[in-house]
């Protein structure tokens, strides 16, 4: 909700997407793809997800369904990052494929910020729901790993508490 217009123009979007897909990719599988949500399609997607959520769980509180409806309306651009995992690849473990897709999502965050935009990585129930995957047109072997919201920051983003590096780094000495 902290992101608004303007979003990337066509040239900025092309630069962003070009940078996003420059990630580690063992075997050159490109185990990811991107789905752009823009304009009226964002609202339609939110509406359809809210309907699906109500069908899956008729006891979903109205506030949650309203959140579903509005999920994609604020930021001018939402990019769904989809991992295309070949589970039984003879050489490339599924984990490496998934990590490559995660790097695409992270590159989208960094790239958007380098272009002067705000960006946020969000997930939610629909990232883990097979019927939501079908609604978005995902194929067998694909899974939604992130919605990257991109736009102009409406307010400064407060930093969150992070661990001191000394608390999470150690050295293996055999």
Q: What is the CATH number of domain 3-155?
A: 3.40.109.10
How confident is the model over 138-149, as a mean pLDDT? 96
Residue-wise pLDDT for 55-105, tens only, equals: 999 999 999 999 999 999 999 999 999 999 999 999 999 999 999 999 999
Residue 70: Cβ-neighbour burial (10 angstroms; 0-12, 13-18, 19+): middle
What lies within 8 Å, CB to CB, of 114 at 6+ separation is 19
Residue-wise pLDDT for 106-121, tens only, equals: 999 999 999 999 999 9
Residue-wise pLDDT for 33-42, tens only, equals: 999 999 999 9
pLDDT of residue 156: 83
Domain-wise residue ranges, the chain? 3-155
pLDDT of residue 53: 97
| 3-class secondary-structure state, position 122 | strand
DSSP states of 29-82 as a string? ---EEEEEEETHHHHHHHHHHHHHHHHH-TT--HHHHHHHHHTTTSSSEEEEEE
Q: In angstroms, what CA-CA distances link 160 with 116, 157, 163?
A: 20, 9, 10
Distance (Å, rounded) from C-alpha 72 to C-alpha 128? Answer: 17
| 3-class secondary-structure state, position 172 | coil
């Amino acid at each position: 909700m902290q992101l608004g217009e303007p979003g990337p123009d066509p040239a900025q979007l092309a630069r962003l997407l070009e940078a996003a897909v420059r990630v580690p990719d063992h075997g050159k599988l490109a185990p990811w793809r991107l789905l752009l949500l823009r304009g009226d399609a964002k609202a339609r997607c939110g509406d359809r997800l809210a309907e699906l959520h109500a069908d899956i769980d008729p006891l979903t509180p109205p506030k949650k369904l309203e959140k579903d409806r509005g999920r994609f309306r604020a930021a001018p651009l939402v990019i769904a990052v989809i991992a295309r995992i070949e589970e039984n690849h003879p050489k490339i473990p599924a984990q490496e494929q998934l990590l490559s897709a995660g790097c695409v999502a992270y590159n989208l965050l960094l790239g958007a910020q380098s272009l002067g935009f705000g960006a946020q990585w969000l997930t939610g129930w629909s990232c883990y729901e097979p019927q939501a995957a079908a609604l978005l047109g995902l194929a067998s072997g694909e899974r939604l790993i992130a919605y990257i919201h991109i736009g102009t920051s409406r307010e400064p983003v407060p930093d969150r508490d992070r661990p001191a590096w000394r608390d999470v780094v150690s050295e293996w000495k055999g």
